Structure 1
Amino acid sequence: MQQLPGRHFLQIPGPTNTPLPILAAIAKPTIDHRGPEFAELGLEVLAGIRSVFKTANPVVIYPTSGTGAWEAALVNTLSPGDRLLMFETGWFSTLWSKMTKSLGFEADIIKGDWRSGVDADLLEARLREDKAHSYKAVAVVHNETSTGVTSNIAAVRRAIDRAGHPALLLVDTISSLGSIDYRHDEWGVDVTVGGSQKGLMLPPGLSFNAISDKALAASRTSRFPRAFLGWEEMLSANVKGFFPYTPSTNLLQGLKVALEMLHAEGLDQVFARHARAAQATRAAVRHWGFEIQCSNEAEYSSTLTAVRLPVGHSADALRHEILERANMSLGNGLGPLADRLFRIGHLGDFNNLTVTATLSGIEMGLKARGIPHSPGGVDAAMEALAGNLPPAALAAE
């Protein structure tokens, strides 16, 4: 690939841009992971990450991608042959269900249309039918990265409670943690899965399990073999800030700074910034005359927008054009949506200018490819951004 001048715009829905202060922290000399300096670091990040999940309970940090945290949520709480109820909202919910089956669990999938989130009423009906309480867990994705759909987790919790079902609630927040409001304790989630490479603004390599008391109790009776991903040894070592094996020391140094940055801005302001960027992006997409993959406005994601192109036009060709002309990467369509849509990431470390620059690059590509659209989408986005107060002004009101 030829050398492209200027800053590369990484506008995929994760991994996201890593801010310089976090990169600088990661680049610090590696410290002794058994020494007192690391113990102080470990205690700080283990405590700080709880506020992002909004939990008072432990959060386990793994040196893995989000896939490892998916597996950890399953193997620590379930026993061989256990049944789960899962809801298909897109590519990543499908991958999680495939993993579940490959581990020897039984997964019943409620089919979805890849354009909407979890239907809490359907979920409740299925749980009411399960008189024997054979489902040991319900597993759903909060923010489906392949479609730009955010499910209502509080509604899922209410559905489980109305059905009077004892199933655990497992939730994937990999593309929403630290960028869309999420409340592990308040919403009664038992295991929340997260990753470092999106809203937390770190490179890939760390993942998380936030754990309820009910999940901890389930882990003590689980008969599924686990070693590297086991909670017990991890939680025991974490009490003093350590880990049972060599952790990702330098990524944890970066995590400390990431948490400081999120708290300095304020989580509510972070969420508002993401929502504002999403609103502006959708304004541009609508002006261009394109369809948004998410069909329900109440479920629009604040971290990404998936855009459907008119039939006969290649989303991958458009993405390639934009990469060559604007040095910008956009997300591709996954699974059955391959080449049908492109995904605009607006999460992590960005501001209003990042949003308008991203949309300018897209409009440039649309013109170059001759894809029918109404020019002026960037102007529509700027009007949306100008109509909202910046975070500092919101905080002062």
Structure 2
Amino acid sequence: MTLANGRHILAIPGPSVMPDRVLNAMHRAAPNIYTGELVDLTQSLVPDLNAVARSSGHVAMYIGNGHAAWEAALVNILSPGDTALVLATGQFGHGWAEMARRLGIKVKVLEFGKRSPFDAAKVRETLAADKDHTIKAVLAVQVDTATSAKSDIAALGQDMAQLDHPALLMVDCIACLACDRFEMDAWGVDVMVAGSQKGLMVPPGMSFVFFNEKADKLRGDMQRVSSYWDWRPRSRPAQYYQHWCGTAPTHHLYGLREALDMILHEEGLEAVWTRHEKLAKAVWAAFETWSRDGPIELNIADRAHRSNAVTSVRIRAPLGTQLRDWLTENAGVTLGIGLGMATPNDPAWHGFFRVGHMGHVNAHMILGTLASIEAGLTALEIPHGRGALEAAASACA
């Protein structure tokens, strides 16, 4: 006998829970990809995507995951031999840096470990020392999905403006767009990348590069950009197929239209941000209570530096894997692995897990997940503080 039968909860940090409305919108026959409804629908997405990003600039849509958006952003404004400064707060900053290296871009990495956001003073010092302005772009991850560290992008943009440094500010919002507050124009961000499968509540398969006129001017100075990654025809197509450099991701577009309606035109973006903030505090309240007795420890100690989309948790190996397995087999809940904390061949890999609380989530989903985690802790006789569920419920009240 198992209590896992019934609707499974995928509490991982992406792909996130997809609303039935999004899935139903995608459940249709293939549309005409040359004229008519799909063309009009695609045009309607652009202003709404910009509204989610708080951007008045351009957006290029790609068929691909977040790594595709990384590469698209890089090749439109950086050439081999150019220098990029990468602020690494976990696995994904290093991943973007490695992609840049393989494109021939010189990379300078500022390492901030796996338990904190970037240190603004160290970034300012590095940029101030760059008197010759050899750094062409600063690459930052707002929320590292592996560590759940959230960095202050607004402060970074303000510092770069005060220093009058001409480098582009490029930000990875793949983990947190439509979950954590992000304001592209107001924060001085020049390029932002995101994916469809997290806060936007659509299956994996689409990614987005948002860019302003400053970034597009640099694109105009590039001697060569591959036809597939070039953001200009995608953002300003003379013909519909140029949006995609070929066939459109037809059914994703219908799902995205429904998701944007839910986010912007029904709940409202500010309300979406507030919902994520409140539910995240419920998650933190539970884990902070459990951590009073036993091996559980939140990876990011300071609440101000935690994401509203994902929470990374440390627990003595092999308890992380044991707890994840118990929840999948007995409670119908799947937690995320401790990505980036170690390798699967390292025993420490089994001492981490992550909880995704992004996108289409509400109080009963989060509280149910937390109650299931407590059941797992109890069943596996893992020591933990008492009163976690009461603390989480109070945070939701």
Residue in 2 that maps onto 1:153: 153
Does residue 249 of structure 1 match 2:250?
yes
Which moved further from structure 2: 328-337 or 281-290?
328-337
Secondary structure of the 2:341 match is helix
Does the CA-based 8 Å contact 1:40-1:241 persist in structure 2?
A: no
Shift in Å, 1:219 = 0.6
Q: In 2, Cα distance between the equivalents of 1:323 and 1:85?
A: 40
Secondary structure of the 1:62 match is strand
Which moved further from structure 2: 14-23 or 376-385?
376-385
Once the two structures are superposed, the pairs formed by residues 1-397 of structure 1 within 5 Å of their partners are: 4-237=4-237, 243=243, 244-263=245-264, 264-289=266-291, 290-309=296-315, 311-337=316-342, 338-386=349-397
Does the CA-based 8 Å contact 1:78-1:224 persist in structure 2?
A: no
Shift in Å, 1:374 = 1.8
Does the CA-based 8 Å contact 1:33-1:242 persist in structure 2?
A: no
Q: In 1, Cα distance between the equivalents of 2:3 and 2:303?
A: 40
Secondary structure of the 1:257 match is helix
Q: What amino acid is the match of 2:253?
A: L
Sort the Cα spacing of 1:339 and 1:238 in 2 relative to 1 into closer, same or farther, 3 A. Answer: farther
Q: In 1, Cα distance between the equivalents of 2:309 and 2:339?
A: 17
Which moved further from structure 2: 92-101 or 232-241?
232-241
Which moved further from structure 2: 280-289 or 221-230?
221-230
Deviation per residue, 1:245-296 (Å, 9 max, x gap)? 1110110111111000001101111111100111011110011113211132
Does the CA-based 8 Å contact 1:148-1:305 persist in structure 2?
A: yes
Q: In 1, Cα distance between the equivalents of 2:112 and 2:75?
A: 26
Q: What amino acid is the match of 2:39?
A: A
Residue in 1 that maps onto 2:345: none
Does the CA-based 8 Å contact 1:173-1:194 persist in structure 2?
A: yes
Q: What amino acid is the match of 1:325?
A: N
Secondary structure of the 1:87 match is strand
TM-score by length of 1: 0.93
Deviation per residue, 1:290-316 (Å, 9 max, x gap)? 32111322111111111111x354311
Which moved further from structure 2: 226-235 or 120-129?
226-235
Q: In 2, Cα distance between the equivalents of 1:240 and 1:104?
A: 32
Q: In 2, Cα distance between the equivalents of 1:339 and 1:160?
A: 40
Shift in Å, 1:36 = 2.0
Shift in Å, 1:19 = 0.5
Shift in Å, 1:194 = 0.5
Consecutive unaligned residues in structure 2, runs of 5 or more: 343-348
Q: In 1, Cα distance between the equivalents of 2:224 and 2:299?
A: 38
Residue in 2 that maps onto 1:389: none
Q: What amino acid is the match of 2:289?
A: H
Shift in Å, 1:155 = 0.7
Q: In 2, Cα distance between the equivalents of 1:238 and 1:198?
A: 31
Q: In 2, Cα distance between the equivalents of 1:156 and 1:238?
A: 36
Does the CA-based 8 Å contact 1:274-1:302 persist in structure 2?
A: yes
Shift in Å, 1:366 = 1.0
Sort the Cα spacing of 1:228 and 1:281 in 2 relative to 1 into closer, same or farther, 3 A. Answer: same
Q: In 1, Cα distance between the equivalents of 2:104 and 2:228?
A: 18
Which moved further from structure 2: 292-301 or 18-27?
292-301
Shift in Å, 1:239 = 7.9
Shift in Å, 1:376 = 3.0
Secondary structure of the 1:193 match is strand
Q: What amino acid is the match of 2:327?
A: I
Secondary structure of the 2:197 match is coil
Q: What amino acid is the match of 2:393?
A: M
Q: In 2, Cα distance between the equivalents of 1:232 and 1:353?
A: 44
TM-score by length of 2: 0.93
Sequence identity percentage: 37
